[in-house]
Amino acid sequence: MTSSENREHDRVPPGKDRIRPLEAWRALRALANDPDDTAQVFRVLRALPNGDRLFRRFRRTESGARLLAERPALLGRLSDRPALLALPPGSLGHGYAEFMEAEQISADGLVEASEASSGERWPDEEHRFFGERMRDMHDLWHVVTGYGRDLLGEAALLSFTFAQTRTPGIGVIVGHALWKARGDFAPARPIIWQGFRRGLRARWLPAQEWEQLLALPLEEVRERLAVGRPPAYAPLRSEGAPAVA
């Protein structure tokens, strides 16, 4: 790729940086009223975009460039639950399948939530691949970090994600969670802050080739990615969340 092509590729797509604070506020209020409405998370993210910075960093990495060239279908791998359960017990892929079963969710659930929030317009197929891959790896991050899908676990994982991506919309959601963690919920604050510190110390997860990590022992993946041991905390589940043993 020539230097002129690189400069053209690094331009932020027209309209991608337009910030819509009122739309973000409405989505944040809706999310506060119904924490299980994942579509509102996507609405916040789209109302407070981070431009093209994250994509450019991804493309500059060796693994990111390779992934953009090959474009493996992560969603397809994560949707094949029988194949994941056939992986060795204790592996990342096996643990992911068990996590999804316990939470009564599927890899397609985030796709549906994304589409329910008015979908996404991508400037080209490379951006689409990266954006969808970021969406699809979210629950893998749950498994690797050890944070559950309870309210506190989600807040801590989003704090971890903000440390990794500096996405403004995620930062706003985390800030709101910290603001609500008062009174009886004040003990949640250290867990949320811990998520941010873990995200700072960890290797950069967006550029990981997850397809190659699925068969590895989960503890080995955690060590390789420097995410640290899963924290001990008391889950805080919403009324609409499934019971998890």
Any idea where the domains of the chain sit in the sequence? 19-225
What pLDDT does residue 15 have? Answer: 40
Give the residues of the chain that fall short of pLDDT 70.
1-17, 51, 116-120, 238-245
What pLDDT does residue 118 have? Answer: 60
| Residue 115, SS3 per DSSP | helix
| Residue 217, SS3 per DSSP | strand
What pLDDT does residue 122 have? Answer: 80
What pLDDT does residue 241 have? Answer: 47
Please state, in angstroms and as integers, the Cα–Cα distance from residue 120 to each residue in 3, 45, 129, 132, 158, following that order. 29, 11, 12, 10, 21
The answer to whether 153 and 188 have CB atoms below 8 angstroms apart is no
pTM attached to this predicted model: 0.85
What pLDDT does residue 31 have? Answer: 76
What pLDDT does residue 116 have? Answer: 65
What pLDDT does residue 238 have? Answer: 61
Tokens of 128: 């689409």
